Amino acid sequence: MDVTKSSATADDWKWLYRLAGAAAFTSAGLVVVAGAVFMLWPPPGFDPTAANTRDWFAFFQAHRLAGIFDLDLVMVIDNVLAIPIFLALYVALRRISVSWTTLGVVASLVGTAGYFAINRPSRCCP
């Protein structure tokens, strides 16, 4: 049996490494954009009252894209972009310790799934 065909090489995973690199740079860029949006168009107050809800709706009407950013659009996108990063780290580090890297990627994926399960725009509406 040919050993070179049975084991995966670094070239087999090059596409995943490139995807993870692009995801990391995109995520970093989005954080900078989100920071700029927060500074240019700060969100309305944080007290959960009916008046505050009206403020959020007025904010959405005036600044649609900024309103979506203020409701943590960047966090949602960052969590999606983190998935290929976790998988690429697993592939790169599994030769060092399969058990620890498996535990790490499972914990990160469970955390990502938990974020999506509990995510709601809690700041704008009671």
Question: Residues 47-73: pLDDT tens digits?
Answer: 555 557 778 788 888 888 888 887 778
DSSP notation for the chain: --HHHHS--GGGGHHHHHHHHHHHHHHHHHHHHHHHHHHHSPPPP---SHHHHHHHHHHHHH-HHHHHHHTTHHHHHHHHHHHHHHHHHHHHHTTT-HHHHHHHHHHHHHHHHHHHHH---TTT--
Domain assignment present for 125: no
Domain assignment present for 36: yes
Domain assignment present for 73: yes
pLDDT score at 74? 85
Domain assignment present for 58: yes
**Domain region containing 112:** 3-118
Domain assignment present for 78: yes
Domain count, the chain: 1
Domain assignment present for 124: no
Domain assignment present for 123: no
Which single residue is written with the structure tokens 């996108």? Answer: 77
Q: Tell me the whole-structure pTM to 2 decimals.
A: 0.72
Domain assignment present for 25: yes
